[in-house]
Amino acid sequence: VKKTKIAFVGLGYVGLSTALCLADNGFQVQGFDVDKRKVKALRDGNPLIHEKGIDLMLRRTLRSGKFIPEDGFRDVSESKIIFITVGTPSRPDGSIETEYVESAAREVGKQLRSASGYHLVVVKSTVIPGTTEGKIRPSIERESGRKIGTSLGLASNPEFLHEGAAVYETLHPDALVIGGADKKSSATLKEMYDSFYGKPQPTVLTTIPNAEMMKYAINSGRASQLSFVNTIANYCTRVPGCDYSEVRKGLSLVAKMDGRYLSAGLGFGGSCLPKDARALAAALKTAGVDPALVSSSLTINDNQVNEAIRLAEGIGGGLEGKRVAVLGLAFKAGTDDIRESVSIALVGALLKKRADVHIYDPVAMKNAKALLGSQVTYAKSAKDCIRNSDCAFIATGWDEFLRIRPADFRRLMKSPILVDGRRIYDQRKYLIGKVKIKTIGTCPADESLSPSDAM
């Protein structure tokens, strides 16, 4: 099977990570993207994204000739399995933009018109249930002049990787979901994965609409759990002696909630959870199903920024004209992705309050600059960022920020007011170190440790 050529249409976080893992494993992989600048960088060995392990893998697979990035559709039909991994961004009403997947499907269909032999098209992009059968199948069949069946297969294979761990999780998935238009489609994809992993992985073999539905059910469930957790954490912040870290143990050990979605704080962001929850809410509404449970997870999430600002203002008063440091811009540690990052929403809310905002992130500065321009000041380091500030927020849980000791906050800041929006610090240690710290989800029981007394 490893002789099988595989193609990826769309070389973003998902397409590139998966393509490189397959190429590194011995598959011959063609990669297509419409973004000429991206393809040029890839050819030069620059993945353009910060993702653990991806640089080396790119250089290795370019050198071995196993991965060939192209900016035009050329000889796609040489590949037996063609993955569609283009973006499906939000439209203003929350529904997803399907134009990119549809245009990719049309291009692939055209390429398959004069091709011979069996081809399988796999939709890996996240699409609303019904999209693959309702929009992608007709495009491919029309453009190729072939029907899905004996010589042409179609499958949905939703992606569950987390940015920052994309390579690791592609190599070690929890489980695979394969929705096939027919038995041959599912079997062909499963065979490829069996060969890639060397042994069968836990796999849900199902139909295309069920596979699509699973992706939204899982991501929206995760979004709901995170907003539930933040509701509890916000309550903890208000009850002396409550610490969400303790409550979390119960959620994990007694309620057996997924530990990867138990972090309380500023809320979730990124290119998936908010977008998928929004798309599901929009689809539920259209389908006449009450979307309240899904929509409220988004409202709660949006409000976490105000909760963090409330904590800061509770200690130091209004933020207008104050110099405020925001540490962390990526939507989470381990990535340079700032799409829908809560940190960026926090910066926006602070600017609205007319604060003088200084920002720093270990890897996302370039992306932040492209988005925020001259509205903020860019610091060279975390310590440079908090220097002379009136207030600081931890907005992304980078390990690097753990190196800022209480004494550093005291020495560098004008007044050491700190809101830990990601619960990275041991609050007691910082209170004892005379930092006026507020942590989302923690309320000190000991009055002598409360921020006002600690000074």
Catalytic residues: 272
**435 in contact with ligand NAD (CB under 6 A):** no
Question: In residues, how long is the chain?
Answer: 455
**159 in contact with ligand NAD (CB under 6 A):** yes
**Closest separation in Å from C-beta 308 to ligand NAD:** 24
Judged by beta carbon, residue 189 or residue 272, the one nearer ligand NAD is 272
Q: Which residues contact 251 (CB under 8 A, 6 or more apart)?
A: 229, 257, 262
Judged by beta carbon, residue 169 or residue 356, the one nearer ligand NAD is 169
Q: How far is CA 42 from CA 164, 257, 303, in A?
A: 19, 39, 39
Identity of the amino acid at 9: V
Long-range CB pairs of 362-365 (<8 Å, 24+ gap) are 362/398, 362/400, 363/50, 363/330, 363/335, 363/336, 364/50, 364/329, 364/330, 364/335, 364/336, 364/337, 364/338, 365/329
Q: What is the DSSP string of 26-60?
A: T-EEEEE-S-HHHHHHHHTT--SS--TTHHHHHHH
**Closest separation in Å from C-beta 354 to ligand NAD:** 33
**54 in contact with ligand NAD (CB under 6 A):** no
**Closest separation in Å from C-beta 372 to ligand NAD:** 20
**Closest separation in Å from C-beta 278 to ligand NAD:** 12
Q: What is the DSSP string of 142-176?
A: HHHS--SSSSEEEEE------TTSHHHHHHS-S-E
Binds ligand NAD (CB under 6 A): choice among 13, 196, 425, 430: 13
Q: How far apart are alpha carbons 175 and 186 in whole angstroms?
A: 15
Q: How far apart are alpha carbons 329 and 324 in whole angstroms?
A: 14
Judged by beta carbon, residue 233 or residue 368, the one nearer ligand NAD is 368
Q: Which stretch binds ligand NAD (CB under 6 A): 3-11, 325-333, 416-424, 440-448?
A: 3-11
**132 in contact with ligand NAD (CB under 6 A):** no
Site for ligand NAD in 55-114 (CB under 6 A): 85-88, 100, 103-104
Binds ligand NAD (CB under 6 A): choice among 15, 47, 362, 406: 15
**47 in contact with ligand NAD (CB under 6 A):** no
**8 in contact with ligand NAD (CB under 6 A):** no
Q: How far apart are alpha carbons 341 and 378 in whole angstroms?
A: 17
Judged by beta carbon, residue 87 or residue 109, the one nearer ligand NAD is 87
Find the helix or strand (DSSP H, E) in which 420 lies. strand 417-420
CA 16 vs. chain centroid, Å, equals 15
**Closest separation in Å from C-beta 191 to ligand NAD:** 23
**34 in contact with ligand NAD (CB under 6 A):** yes
Coil, helix or strand at residue 74: coil
451 closest CA partner among 412, 421, 423, 416: 416
Binds ligand NAD (CB under 6 A): choice among 161, 345, 391, 412: 161
Q: Which two tokens stand for residue 202?
A: 């836990």
Q: Which two tokens stand for residue 416?
A: 């050491």
**Closest separation in Å from C-beta 201 to ligand NAD:** 17
Q: Which two tokens stand for residue 43?
A: 């050819």
Measured CA angle at 233 (ends 229, 235), to 5 deg: 120
Site for ligand NAD in 166-195 (CB under 6 A): none
**333 in contact with ligand NAD (CB under 6 A):** no
Binds ligand NAD (CB under 6 A): choice among 28, 30, 126, 301: 126
Q: Which stretch binds ligand NAD (CB under 6 A): 8-16, 59-67, 254-262, 345-353?
A: 8-16
Judged by beta carbon, residue 212 or residue 307, the one nearer ligand NAD is 212
List the x/- string, 258-277, binding to ligand NAD by CB under 6 A. -------------xx-----
**336 in contact with ligand NAD (CB under 6 A):** no
Judged by beta carbon, residue 24 or residue 33, the one nearer ligand NAD is 33
CA 202 vs. chain centroid, Å, equals 23
Binds ligand NAD (CB under 6 A): choice among 38, 80, 137, 184: 38
Q: Which two tokens stand for residue 415?
A: 């007044």
Closest CB to ligand NAD belongs to which residue? Answer: 12
Q: Which stretch binds ligand NAD (CB under 6 A): 34-42, 113-121, 146-154, 301-309?
A: 34-42
Q: Which stretch binds ligand NAD (CB under 6 A): 157-165, 169-177, 224-232, 398-406?
A: 157-165
**139 in contact with ligand NAD (CB under 6 A):** no
Identity of the amino acid at 440: I
Q: At what angle do helices 273-286 and 292-316 cross, to 10 degrees?
A: 140
- Say how many residues touch ligand NAD, by CB under 6 A: 26
Task: Give the residues lining the site for ligand NAD (CB under 6 A).
Answer: 9-15, 32-35, 38, 85-88, 100, 103-104, 125-126, 159, 161, 163, 271-272
